[in-house]
Chain A
Amino acid sequence: MTRLVTAELLMMRKRASTWILLGIWTALALTFAYVVPYIQYTNDPARGLADLLPENLVGTLLAGFPFFGGVLALMLGVLTVGSEYGWGTLKTLFTQGPGRLRVFGAKLIAVAAVLLVFVFVAFLLGAVASWAIAANEGAEVAWPSASLLIRGIAGGWLVFAVWAALGIFLAVVTRGTALATGIGILYAFVVEGLLSALAREVSVLDGLVEFFVRANGYSLVAGLGVSAEDVSDSGPGSFSGPFVAGGQALLVLAVYLAAFALAAGWLLRRRDVV
């Protein structure tokens, strides 16, 4: 299995789209977590500097994970599996010998590893940005505890992994990239976004929204230092609830991750490759 995973990692490393997504992700994460808020702070110091200091690194960064970060992870998942249909390379891989499920497993592991890199890079650059701001403002540099950092990285990775697994599932269902990306973004923004917003006025939707990827993603990161005010006041990606308990969020996201991966694997194994 190690050989298969290294083959997948070689493909992902050499693929421009992996680096483009990483670039977009880090640029968005830094812009919305540090650059824009710092400009706002310099214009209006009354807003406070606390969120931009190293101590709040985890909460400040994680606020972007369930929104634009998740959509970028979805695109990574779609591209990793959906492109195989477009290029016709699935038949090339499936005739090498390891078996369809092992091929799929290698792809999942490789995507999981790349997502971890996405999370690490964001945290690393976030740490540099928050340190630079603290140094510039003469503020005290205090880092979050190792335990919070690890939970933050793990939580961010889980949110990414669920969206990427949804992308992989959609790519397998639609046997391509274009429709899968369209459906994925439509689902993330329109279905979950609109229904979440409507849930404030239509109480019957409240229960449904509590099982959305978005609601559980935000609820998971809320337990790691993201304030509800921050995410309810973040423009088109705003989320104002309902929030669920951290334990439920973890469980629901884990179930989504397993369900998307298993359903995609089952379909991939069962279907003809034409």
Chain B
Amino acid sequence: MTEQTNLVIETNDLGKRYGERIVAVDGLDLSVRRGEVYGFLGPNGAGKTTTLRMLLGLIRPTTGSALVLGAAPGTPDSLRRLGALIESPTFYPYLSGRDNLRVLARYAGVPETRIAPVLEEVDLAYRAGDRFGTYSLGMKQRLGIAAVLLKDPELLVLDEPTNGMDPAGMAEMRPFIRSLGRGDRTVLLSSHLMSEVEQVCDRVGVISRGRVVGEGTVDELRGREGLWLRADPTDEAERILRSLRAIDEVSPADGGLRIAAEPAAAAAINRALVEAGIAVSELRPERASLEKVFLELTQEEEAA
């Protein structure tokens, strides 16, 4: 299978502008591969939901193009093979959870025998006969997931699926989303929660001000592991560290020094500093958190 045919979502210079001043999405290039859980990470207002709506054909782009499952967004060819949960789950409040799924099953051309298993899968069978309007936010979210699963889709587009869930519900939902992405099924998960993306996603695209500002696996984005040091006097320690061959770079960070070096070099570094009369009070391996990378990437974009 070539890289091209392996892409489930592909956008090229995708953009959405409202009037002259508001640019919601600005030349977005996105590639989501078959079978992966792709995290779409960005701060509120970054353009995530607008992008997802364009991928579903709910909003027309003003520039660029997109292919979803090999077809234009919003066409029956792509929509029949995907399930989407955009922002909060929206259903008919006067219908029961089961009746809401009956309506959607008829619209999607899915046999109604699928309803009971998906309700079981999201653990909502016990309230399926109650009106949607009486559900808690977490239950509404689970009904939204059930509706997405109804079509047994190749692609799931989930926009903040754990929104409104309590910590236990969120903890339960994450491995569930991870399990949905097993095999050939692809999941595009939009979120602003780092821990969620870190735990669930194979690859991550960071979006800020409507542009992708970073993309890769979580490990790639966090960069290689290094060391962090607290020593006294700090400037003397920095001078000595710069002279050591095992160290690529030293920079002040968080009241100490960040050292670009293999963690295995820690003992040699400690010895060199102690022999030079430097008091080392802390030396530990350090890796940039996804949150830190995210903040750096989005703040750089905002500064630009």
Q: Contact: B79 with A95, CB < 8 Å? A: yes
Pick out which of these stretches binds chain B: A11-19, A201-209, A254-262: A11-19
Known A14-B95, A15-B94, A89-B92: A96·B86 in contact at CB below 8 Å: no
Known A4-B107, A7-B107, A274-B53: A94·B58 in contact at CB below 8 Å: yes
Interface membership of A117, Cβ < 8 A:
no
Pick out which of these stretches binds chain B: A97-105, A169-177, A244-252: A97-105
Q: Contact: B106 with A94, CB < 8 Å? A: no
Which bucket holds chain A's interface residue count?
A: 20 to 34
User: B residues touching A (Cβ–Cβ < 8 Å)?
Assistant: 53, 56-60, 74-76, 79-80, 82, 84, 86, 88, 90-95, 99, 102-104, 106-109, 147, 151
Mask, A83-97, CB within 8 Å of B = 1, is 000011101111111
Q: Contact: A89 with B76, CB < 8 Å? A: no
**Taking the nearest CB of chain A, how far is it from the CB of B165, in angstroms?**
19
User: A residues touching B (Cβ–Cβ < 8 Å)?
Assistant: 3-4, 6-7, 10-11, 14-16, 87-89, 91-99, 103, 272-274
List the B side residues contacting A96 at CB < 8 Å.
79, 104, 107-108, 151
**Taking the nearest CB of chain A, how far is it from the CB of B75, in angstroms?**
8
Contacting residue for A272 out of B58, B90, B95, CB 8 A: B58
List the A side residues contacting B151 at CB < 8 Å.
96-97
Q: Contact: A93 with B86, CB < 8 Å? A: no
30 pairs of residues in contact across A and B, judged by CB atoms under 8 Å: A4-B107, A7-B103, A7-B104, A7-B106, A10-B106, A11-B92, A11-B103, A14-B99, A16-B94, A88-B90, A89-B90, A89-B92, A91-B56, A91-B86, A92-B104, A92-B147, A94-B56, A94-B57, A94-B58, A95-B57, A95-B58, A96-B79, A97-B80, A97-B108, A98-B76, A98-B107, A272-B59, A272-B60, A273-B53, A274-B59
Known A89-B92, A91-B90: A10·B79 in contact at CB below 8 Å: no
Q: Contact: A97 with B90, CB < 8 Å? A: no
When chains A and B are docked, how far (Å) is the Cα of A88 from the Cα of B87? 10
Q: Contact: B53 with A14, CB < 8 Å? A: no
Q: Contact: B93 with A97, CB < 8 Å? A: no
Closest A-B pairs by Cβ, 4 of them: A88-B90, A7-B106, A96-B107, A97-B80
**Taking the nearest CB of chain A, how far is it from the CB of B192, in angstroms?**
19
**Taking the nearest CB of chain A, how far is it from the CB of B179, in angstroms?**
23
Q: Contact: A92 with B94, CB < 8 Å? A: no
When chains A and B are docked, how far (Å) is the Cα of A7 from the Cα of B107? 7
When chains A and B are docked, how far (Å) is the Cα of A96 from the Cα of B253? 50
Minimum CB distance partner of B49 in chain A: A274
List the B side residues contacting A10 at CB < 8 Å.
99, 102-103, 106
Known A11-B103, A103-B107: A273·B58 in contact at CB below 8 Å: yes
Q: Contact: B95 with A92, CB < 8 Å? A: no
Q: Contact: A87 with B90, CB < 8 Å? A: yes
**Taking the nearest CB of chain B, how far is it from the CB of A164, in angstroms?**
20
List the A side residues contacting B104 at CB < 8 Å.
7, 92, 96
Q: Contact: A87 with B58, CB < 8 Å? A: no
List the A side residues contacting B107 at CB < 8 Å.
3-4, 7, 93, 96-98, 103
Q: Contact: B53 with A6, CB < 8 Å? A: no
